[in-house]
């Protein structure tokens, strides 16, 4: 029996999505009137989910008057506009990721997981 759904936790193991997060964070910061962060800054802030990323970004730019939940919503809206525009594959075909980048089971639907939400990828 082949799986009907394949889910990848996009945490940097299989892909590098930091450039897309960088774009979305800086759009969110610009909307708040705050200075942008570098890609290196964003890479150092990634981990523990989007809420933690936004809290770290707001703290780094001293956006103390910003509402973290509204900032998170803005970040997610910007990120969802183009979630993979600059994403690149980082894995190599070995170990558990031996079929990285290919759809091993053509009938399986891909999905993305962020935070506590999972939804089918577009076109699936």
Active site residues: 9
> Chain-centre distance of CA 34, in angstroms?
21
Strand partners, 113: 9, 118
List b or e across 37-49, with b for residues whose CB sees 16 or more CB atoms inside 10 angstroms.
beeebbbebbeee
Strand partners, 15: 89
């Amino acid at each position: 029996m082949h799986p009907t759904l394949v889910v990848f936790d996009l945490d940097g193991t299989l892909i590098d999505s930091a450039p897309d997060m960088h774009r979305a964070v800086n759009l969110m910061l610009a909307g708040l009137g705050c200075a942008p962060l570098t890609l290196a800054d964003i890479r150092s802030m990634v981990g523990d989910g989007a809420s933690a990323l936004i809290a770290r970004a707001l703290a780094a730019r001293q956006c103390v008057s910003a509402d973290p939940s509204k900032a998170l919503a803005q970040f997610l809206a910007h990120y969802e506009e183009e979630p993979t525009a600059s994403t690149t594959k980082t894995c190599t075909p070995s170990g558990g990721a031996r079929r990285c980048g290919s759809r091993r089971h053509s009938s399986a639907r891909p999905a993305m997981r962020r935070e506590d939400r999972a939804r089918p990828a577009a076109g699936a």
